[in-house]
Structure 1
Amino acid sequence: MTPITEVEGRRLALSNLDKVLYPDTGTTKGEVLHYYATVAGAMLPHLAGRPVSFLRYPDGPEGQRFFTKNPPPGTPAWVRTARVPRSEDQRAEQVLVSGLADLMWAANLVVEFHVPQWRADRPALADRLVVDLDPGPPATVVECCTAALWLRDRLAADGLTAFAKTSGAKGLHLSVPLRPTPSEEVSGYAKELAREAEAALPELVVHRMAKALRPGKVFVDFSQNAAAKTTAAPYTLRARPRPTASAPVDWAEVAACRDPEELVFLAPQVVARLERDGDLFAALTDPDGPVGELPSAAGRGGAP
């Protein structure tokens, strides 16, 4: 029998709570749902107003996985959606995760949460710049940290403040709050930034995706700034062998990292970190937090 739970006045049928989703740790679906309920206060502001895409893995990370931007079949009528561009001449509905009930409904589908760098009410006007640092074996997140520190300082030279989080997979994500700026401009700046990183750290960094270039180096992936692309949201669990989360970290942790396991955070660890440190990404959603402007937009007030 599927238990019915009421969340914020919404009735949710939460299914298969004893099902083991992560065999390496024995983590059940019920524990995954408990995780999201616990981190909701920190996670929801990073989803608010953004069309959410889902990587679904209902049978765990070893089972079938599929990515969807469309509202899943059976989406309740009370889950808000937004009509957003998919191409120059096409718009489609996507889910907005606006509160705890929405979050728990989506988590019950067993998903990774992915969001674009823009909000649904201003499509393709990015208020984030994102850089995905992806290590090519035998490089690890340790090498990503070296690249991240260089990028942090280079961004600071342009008056931009970078925040770091683990990807929840192998690497790091850097996020920079911006005044709303056309995604095309942000992509151009990020691409040049990646080229500069490769020129400054040629033994460590590559800015092109070609697999032949990547062994032992950090790929500085700027492509997620394109309007059509998305990035794993802060605090989302990933479809990995263990329930690793995309977890914000402070720069002292990045600078001190000497072992990849130092920047691997499982669901219970993320909860403990939130209790101890709060949301290390809170400045990204703070109206009074740091907001930068790309050099290319300086002097013209940025995009409206």
Structure 2
Amino acid sequence: MTEKVRVEVEGRRLVLTNLDKVLYPDAAFTKAEVIDYYTRIASALLPHLKGRPLTVKRYPNGVDGQFFYEKNAPEHTPDWVRTVTLPAPGSTKNREEIDFAVVDDLPTLVYYANLAALEIHVPMWRVAKDGEPQPPDTLVFDLDPGAPATIVDCCRVAVLLRRALADDGLESFPKTSGQKGMQLYVPWDRGPDTSGYAKALAQRMQAEHPFVTSVMAKKERPGKVFIDWSQNNPAKTTVAPYSLRAAGRPAVSTPLLWEEVEACDSPDRLVFTAPDVLERVAEHGDLFAPLTA
């Protein structure tokens, strides 16, 4: 029999289920702890989700079980969850449109946490109040190390990218991917062609540094850091700041101080779990706050 707990979150009634289910077996981290984390991190996380169509990775039987991506809001989604209907070019399910949820408030975040939506992914653009897609407001570089390279090498590349971006008058903000790599986010107000700019800069970095590649082909990547500029395609999403990741432990995609990036000499130094991140936000606030200013 499924355990059900009825709660009220900011005036919305929700039914939470299977709170004792262990979703991260290596850490004995339960669904209740997932919901608790997302509730406690909400003040930092929600500004980065507001207005952005949602894609989630759901793990109903935990990180060791099968998962699925979900873009379309489930049929049982409460009517108070904001949804926007957008074109779906290239949909794997041959849909012409998708009804995306938009996580604008805590009840919606808790609703998805209860669905074991461990990973939260969003695009670099938002929708207006009427649901109309807006130009990108963020540019992202996804730094992916090809073994034996690690996040230590990603940090080296991130520092170089930061300097190149600063030369172009752009500020950048680093975060871990919550897995083996990291991302740089750049506030953007220079028009719709983020991909063109990002690709040109990635290619320039490749030309200047032999340990960098801007080419996606696996054969080009061993021992190098791949600068994935293609995440700026409007159809693509990137894991959100403060999102959990599905791994052995409840690691989080964590905003970083540049001093941490510059000082990184071991991959273990930049691994942060949910409890770590709550402590970091209590100490530093939201290091990505300038992106939502």
Q: TM-score range by the shorter chain?
A: over 0.9
Match status 1:119 vs 2:129: no
Distance 1:73 1:139 in 2: 43
The question of whether the paired residues in 2 share the 8 Å contact of 1:23 and 1:241 is answered with yes
The question of whether the paired residues in 2 share the 8 Å contact of 1:124 and 1:227 is answered with no
Distance 1:123 1:146 in 2: 35
The aligned amino acid for 2:83 is: T
The question of whether the paired residues in 2 share the 8 Å contact of 1:235 and 1:246 is answered with yes
Matched residue, 1:240: 247
Distance 1:10 1:234 in 2: 25
Aligned length: 283
Q: CA deviation at 1:62?
A: 1.4
* Structure 1: segments with no counterpart, 5+ residues: 287-304
Match of 1:213 among 220, 224, 231: 220
Q: CA deviation at 1:173?
A: 0.6
Matched residue, 1:144: 154
Match of 1:164 among 162, 174, 179: 174
Match status 1:270 vs 2:277: yes
The two structures, once aligned, show a CA RMSD in angstroms of 1.4
Matched residue, 2:36: 34
The aligned amino acid for 1:194 is: A
Matched residue, 1:299: none
Question: Segments of 4+ in structure 1 off by > 3 A?
Answer: 88-91
The aligned amino acid for 1:275 is: A
The aligned amino acid for 1:117 is: M
The aligned amino acid for 1:274 is: V
Matched residue, 1:194: 202
Q: For residue 160 of structure 1, give the secondary structure of its aligned residue in structure 2.
A: coil
Q: CA deviation at 1:257?
A: 0.3
TM-superposition CA deviations, 1:156-206 (whole Å, max 9, x none)? 100000000100111111000111621xx110111111111111111x111
Matched residue, 1:99: 105
Distance 1:198 1:265 in 2: 29
Distance 2:29 2:70 in 1: 24
Q: For residue 247 of structure 1, give the secondary structure of its aligned residue in structure 2.
A: coil
Match of 2:61 among 47, 59, 68: 59
The question of whether the paired residues in 2 share the 8 Å contact of 1:84 and 1:120 is answered with no
Q: TM-score, normalised by structure 2?
A: 0.94
The question of whether the paired residues in 2 share the 8 Å contact of 1:54 and 1:69 is answered with yes
Q: For residue 186 of structure 2, give the secondary structure of its aligned residue in structure 1.
A: strand
Q: For residue 98 of structure 2, give the secondary structure of its aligned residue in structure 1.
A: strand
The question of whether the paired residues in 2 share the 8 Å contact of 1:17 and 1:28 is answered with yes
Distance 1:209 1:115 in 2: 21
Q: How does 1:254-293 map to 2 (within 5 A)?
A: 254-286=261-293
Q: CA deviation at 1:57?
A: 1.2
Distance 1:173 1:72 in 2: 29
TM-superposition CA deviations, 1:214-235 (whole Å, max 9, x none)? 1111110011100100000110
Q: For residue 228 of structure 1, give the secondary structure of its aligned residue in structure 2.
A: coil
Distance 2:38 2:47 in 1: 13
Matched residue, 1:108: 114
Matched residue, 2:70: 68
Change (3 A) 1:120 1:91: farther
Distance 1:228 1:124 in 2: 13
The aligned amino acid for 1:84 is: L
Distance 1:25 1:240 in 2: 10
Distance 2:262 2:36 in 1: 32
Q: For residue 136 of structure 2, give the secondary structure of its aligned residue in structure 1.
A: strand
Distance 1:56 1:234 in 2: 17
Match of 1:251 among 250, 258, 262: 258
Matched residue, 1:298: none
Distance 2:38 2:278 in 1: 10
